[in-house]
Structure 1
Amino acid sequence: MSQVQEPSLAALARENWTEVTPQALYGKLQTIARNLWWSWKPEVGQLFRDLDPVRWRQLDHNPIALLAEMTAEQVAERASEMAMITRINQAHRRLHDYLTKTDHTWGAREAGVLGSKPVAYFSAEFGMHESVPIYSGGLGILSGDHIKSASGLGIPLIAMGLFYDQGYFKQHLDSEGYQQEEYVNTKVATQPMEPAVGKDGKPIMVSIETRNGALNAKVWLVRVGRVKLYLLDCDVEGNSPQDRELTSRLYGGDTRTRIRQELVLGIGGVKALRALGITPGAYHLNEGHSAFAPLEVIHERMQDDGLSFDDALREVAQQTVFTTHTPVPAGHDRFDAGLIEEHLGPTRDKLGISHDQLMGLGRVEPQNGEETFTMTVIGLKLSRRANAVSSLHGVVSRRMWANLWPWRVEEEVPIGHITNGVHVPTWLALPMRQMYDRYLGVDWQSKMYDPETWQGIYQVDPGELWETHHALKSRCLDFVRRRLSRQCRRRSEDEAHVDAARLALDPAALTIGFARRFATYKRADLFLKRLDDIAELINDTNRPVQFIFAGKAHPADEPGKGFIKKIANLRNDPRFAGRVVFVEDYDMNVARHMIQGVDVWLNNPRRPLEASGTSGMKVVLNGGLNCSILDGWWGEAYNGKNGFSIGNGTQHVDTAITDQRDADHLYEVLRDEVVPLFYDRDADGLPHQWIERMVNSIATLAARFSAHRMVQDYVKLCYLPAAGGLSSEMGMR
């Protein structure tokens, strides 16, 4: 990907903004704002920030909302004051070239068959930017990174999801440290959305029949670079008041709400594709939420081509890719027979199968009338390529679902793995990118998936890398202090607490970050088992340590909320005040600041329950080091010199013993490895051995765990074989 040069001072001096009409300039910014391409181009996002830095921050970095508050004349005047006109024209031209000049992309070279038969990628959530709040956590961020990399690689891919007009909840802690949830309506007018239209130019509506009436949904279009993301929305006339709220909240409501949402996503999503005139070559079901989709495709094949149910199932399964993301049993949606008949009865009628046959598709034991219908099971049965999201997760998944193939030994269960990756341009801090431009070559972003690309990092000047990291760390701590001060004011705390928040955290101290969903198996409270010992580390005068925590617990997860309360209330203990902090309302913005600024990223799930974990991959890009249980991605990433490991990759049969043993290992690795290495400085204050680990981490992990590599794996191992291109044995059966 070519690097765009900033306009020269001479060019800026020649600008005469009166030669560009305010309306034309405003229109160009609107065009840029309505394609999320800008969100992974920091120099383009800076255009909107420069228009009004204060409102930019207050509006959650939403360019459409910002432009709505300004007239074309105000934008033109500000652009003239800031010498922005050339930059705006340049960004507009770059977006146009990006969208139209696709002949030389990796996808054009390697995935040609998908050009006429694109991939249809289904996911219940998409995390693309904090200003588009239709995500909750890791699954959504992974989906967003997947489609961004598909865009960058030029992969013909269409994405399908749901529009949640209240999204996931906003999180606040009360004076007792207890999580409170607030749902806020998202204004469609401030989102990069437009009605999706069919070939007749009319907005698309889909209708899904159930035993108690139809569910209707309109379809929105969101442009994510070269990828089109379609979102189904049930807030339409014709639906009951209850159904109009069906897609309001992500992961809200009861089991009946969940199955109705998944019916809209799966069945409705396929109907939307047909209304759009799109015939996919491959269907990728990202987790079980969309696993009803193949049933509608089977119906289409029976209707269009006269196939029997069995023959249609066989052909559709050949086109279907299924990715499972969780080794936790509670993470797999299960529905009773009554809910299935109520919602899939009309589909079953069209397929010409019995209720028992339909239920059998979602059961491990088809004839077991006591077994519920499981979305992961039907996803596995209706696909011919299935994968977990890390090597260890593949082992766990084959063991978990081995009973589906009782005639096979566990090692031959047809569930492979494609380890997750992260979208490098989204998560890479601009100062780090500028340093990579110098050491990796200006075209390194076009080859970020190639390990050889990153070897130039071994030539980096240690002082430059350390100073770049320290600047990002200072920015992170400033951000956290602002958030802590705001939290104190919202709780109406006195000025002493506000002042303490402003002074929290020491830029010179070893800073450890922990941010993720507060599910109990992720053990955010593990360090509390050695609290007195951790307190000694924190308060060491010569080698202090500090922690930044963030994350949300599901509204129904009381134990997870208890973890948050315990950690947040450490601020009331003099030993931890200003050294252990909790940042409210974890989102992509909080994540960006933390992963770009902390020294160490902590991850201590109960092995082997972390399917992958992508937050630590983002830290790698920005020079931070991982300290993690050998679970998920870290189990295949750690080489002894690119971070730190907690334990040796084993677990006791008694979880209480495992937890205590891991807490001991965590404390010991901090005390004996992490802290001494961080504070071992030369005369210039540089921790050379620490910097060597930073360099080794980047060189060995950045390419392997990039979303570009991940999407290429999906193309070669799954999409092309599914669409009738190359063959592969991964996940075949």
Structure 2
Amino acid sequence: MQKIAYFSAEFGLDESLPIYSGGLGILAGDHVKAAADLNIPLTGVGILYGKGYFQQRIDDSGWQHHLYPDINLAASVYPVELVRDGYGQPLLIEIPLEGRKVFAKSYAVQVGSVTLYLLNTDVESNSEADRRLTDTLYPGAQDVRISQEILLGIGGTRLLTALGIKPEVWHMNEGHCAFLTLERIRMLSAQGIPFETALEVVKASTVFTTHTPVPAGHDVFSIGMMDRYFGDYYWQLGVDRDRVLSLGCIDGAFNMTRLAVSTSSRVNGVSKLHGEVTKELFHRWMPHIAIPDIPVDSVTNGIHTGTWLGHGLKELFDCHLPSDWYLQAADPDVWTAVRDIPDHELWEEHKRAKSKMLRTFGLSLPATDELPLIIGFARRFATYKRALLIFSDPERLSRILSAANRPVVLVFAGKAHPSDGPGQDLIRKIVELSHDDRFKGHVHIVENYAMDKAKLLVQGVDVWLNTPLKPMEASGTSGQKAALNGVLNCSVLDGWWVEGYNGHNGWAIESAVDTDSELQAKEDTEELYRLLEEEIIPLFYNRVEGNVPEGWVNLMKESICSLAPVYNTNRMVTDYWNKMYVPTSARGKRFAADHFEVASRVAAYKQFIRSNWSRVKISKVDVHNNNSFRAVIQLGAVWHQDVRVEAVGSDGHRGIWKVVLEPVQQLDKGLYVYEGASSDIPVHDIWQANPNVRVTPVSPDFANDHEMEMATWG
């Protein structure tokens, strides 16, 4: 395989190159590092933000201030070089913006064997306003946001073309970069390839990872804004404006996630639960497809072991684990040796990491002989993450934190987007609580949360707390970083923790998803307090000879052994390779071969199906108690071998069962009788399953059974 092009709006490689805001960027940076570790031929494409994401300062009143110093490229721990052309001049890429030409230079960041290219518009030939387009990450102004996404998608594609890089697989990490698919179609159109054929070529070689489980998290632009920025671009794709807009148009606006889904052959969420939540989210776009059948896969996120493992713990692992343990990090057998590490050695190393964190942050703690139990809560301050949940009953929490001889300390960290007023209010409230006499010395907030401080926290606290409103956490990799370092998770069963929790490697706040968020918060708070009072605090302070909490250390070992081999980027990127990259590469080659023969055939077939599908009707359905089905179906001009007919019903557990029906009689031209039966339907009363019959267009050339997002129901 040649190269995989991995596009992302942010990359968190290191705090010295602050072009990331949070989990999405950190994940992208870890993805790049793992690809380098595994010698996967990947090329990254992003934006070099001249001022990066904002630097956070929190004043004594809790107000968050936003500072934007220029990034010092010379300070990056990764080599950063300006990309030059064959004449030694900066290689400039031309991007169309509102009918004008904007130029971008690019920088190459070398991460082992992987090169990450970063575009930047601070070019002398641009206007002053255009030079500032790439100053900051996730700007609030829609005009700047769409300009950055055009730069990333269209400009990034043109950059790879200028460099002679011809990816076999194009991976879109979130929808910010989805305009790359339009540019690829435009390039094919310029070669005389019809739009529908070009769309199939692009779709066949593209994969899309979505990270956001809530509708508000997806970029949406008005149709008027699309017309302003793409008015001179639509026609270059070889089709009319309405067809281009149809790829992303939802509810009268242009949705970047919808564009990404429409132009990808494989779509995945970032945990198993997130994959299911995404299916429900996408169901409003595909109302004729049953939710379990919506074509969304999942690849659960992981973290880069070398980046997030504390230095002292790494040395301990080097002494006790097999010599090549780092190269075999995804092998569970490699980690079993952690159980043989003497308890006092593991505990002393954790205490050193804890002391380093406290010294660096300068936190004042309650006066005790031993370091207290420290609980960390660090993430973006979005309201659904419920940072204040633990304060729901202040009096009870005060008693928990300040119990005699068993003190507990809470350490918070995180930023709220400059446009997120409610998120900033959360920070202000925590600062106020830290000054409250009931919590003084027991509640702290660390400002300017970034990768350097994240490392100290995930290595130095005792418990990693995560209390999102389920199911709104897509994955939540910070808990994975903590687990690698022997820090125990206490989390709502959301995101990755649903898969990771085994009943013996941390604690689960077993939240039931409730439409009443206040009731859910009340239940979650009660369970959190119970866990603290009855399990977490007693276990931490139950000491044996040498002042080692034996039960706690055993839990640390179980956490590392059960989680470290699974939730790492070696496993994650290997999953992407096997599930996404290899099949997509093969599919892309097949669709492009022989002058796009397969792509042309699929495009023509889809156009035929769309033109004739309105005449597909199910005129009669008979369901019998012996689980047999009979349906009379009018297919019209559609060939009976181009459809799948199924009886479908509920299994009573949010899933469905399906029974394939076969044509047994042709009553008239295009009119068929279908029948089928099954003894494996998982319901006692067939009528409770609300059975129905559906007809779906199929083709051996489709990436999945529901690629056309069409079905006719009885």
Partner of 1:327: 213
SS in 1 for 2:490: strand
What code does the residue aligned with 1:403 have?
Answer: R
What code does the residue aligned with 2:558 have?
Answer: N
Q: How does 1:407-418 map to 2 (within 5 A)?
A: 407-418=288-299
| Higher relative strand content | 2
CA distance in 1, matches of 2:704, 2:152: 27
1:206 aligns with 2:103: no
**1:702 pairs with 551, 564, 589, which one?**
564
**2:512 pairs with 650, 655, 663, which one?**
650
**Would you say the 8 A contact 1:208–1:214 is kept in 2?**
yes
**Would you say the 8 A contact 1:197–1:276 is kept in 2?**
no
CA drift at 1:347: 2.7
What code does the residue aligned with 2:344 have?
Answer: G
**1:374 pairs with 243, 255, 263, which one?**
255
CA deviations over 1:620-645 (Å, ceiling 9, x no partner): 11111000000000011101100001
SS in 2 for 1:229: strand
CA deviations over 1:165-196 (Å, ceiling 9, x no partner): 11111111122111111111123444432111
What code does the residue aligned with 1:267 have?
Answer: I
CA distance in 1, matches of 2:322, 2:381: 40
Q: Which segment drifts farther, 203-212 or 598-607? A: 203-212
What code does the residue aligned with 2:355 have?
Answer: S
CA drift at 1:575: 2.3
Partner of 2:175: 288
What code does the residue aligned with 1:480 have?
Answer: F
**1:673 pairs with 513, 522, 535, which one?**
535
Partner of 1:149: 34
**Would you say the 8 A contact 2:121–2:130 is kept in 1?**
yes
SS in 2 for 1:447: coil
Q: How does 1:208-357 map to 2 (within 5 A)?
A: 208-304=95-191, 306-357=192-243
What code does the residue aligned with 1:336 have?
Answer: S
**1:387 pairs with 268, 278, 289, which one?**
268
CA distance in 2, matches of 1:435, 1:319: 44
SS in 1 for 2:231: helix
SS in 2 for 1:128: coil
SS in 1 for 2:392: helix
Partner of 2:395: 532
**1:185 pairs with 60, 64, 70, which one?**
70
Partner of 2:555: 693
Instruction: Specify whether residues 690 and 732 from structure 1 end up closer, same or farther in structure 2 by C-alpha distance, changes over 3 A only.
Output: farther
**Would you say the 8 A contact 2:279–2:294 is kept in 1?**
yes
SS in 1 for 2:583: helix
**Would you say the 8 A contact 1:635–1:649 is kept in 2?**
no
Q: How does 1:90-101 map to 2 (within 5 A)?
A: none
1:131 aligns with 2:9: no
SS in 2 for 1:548: strand
**1:464 pairs with 345, 351, 358, which one?**
345
**Would you say the 8 A contact 2:332–2:561 is kept in 1?**
yes
1:480 aligns with 2:361: yes
> Percent same amino acid among aligned pairs?
44
Partner of 1:587: 450
**Would you say the 8 A contact 1:505–1:579 is kept in 2?**
no
CA deviations over 1:29-77 (Å, ceiling 9, x no partner): xxxxxxxxxxxxxxxxxxxxxxxxxxxxxxxxxxxxxxxxxxxxxxxxx
CA drift at 1:201: 4.6
Task: With the length of structure 2 as denominator, give the TM-score of the two structures.
Answer: 0.81
Partner of 2:464: 601
Partner of 2:61: 176
**Would you say the 8 A contact 1:612–1:633 is kept in 2?**
yes
Instruction: Specify whether residues 471 and 416 from structure 1 end up closer, same or farther in structure 2 by C-alpha distance, changes over 3 A only.
Output: same
CA distance in 1, matches of 2:193, 2:232: 19
The gaps in structure 2 that reach 5 residues or longer are 591-701, 708-714
What code does the residue aligned with 2:319 have?
Answer: R
CA distance in 2, matches of 1:184, 1:135: 15
Task: Find the structure with the greater CA-based Rg.
Answer: 2
CA deviations over 1:269-296 (Å, ceiling 9, x no partner): 0000001110001000000000000111
CA distance in 2, matches of 1:260, 1:569: 39
**Would you say the 8 A contact 2:366–2:442 is kept in 1?**
no
CA deviations over 1:616-671 (Å, ceiling 9, x no partner): 0001111110000000000111011000011x241221111111221121111111
CA drift at 1:730: 8.4
What code does the residue aligned with 2:222 have?
Answer: D
What code does the residue aligned with 2:236 have?
Answer: K
**Would you say the 8 A contact 1:387–1:731 is kept in 2?**
no
SS in 2 for 1:230: strand
CA distance in 1, matches of 2:86, 2:534: 65
**1:424 pairs with 287, 292, 305, which one?**
305
CA drift at 1:335: 0.4
CA deviations over 1:445-496 (Å, ceiling 9, x no partner): 1111112211111212111111111111111111121xx6xxxxxxxxxxxx
CA drift at 1:680: 1.3
1:453 aligns with 2:334: yes
SS in 1 for 2:314: helix
| Higher relative helix content | 1
CA distance in 1, matches of 2:475, 2:196: 35
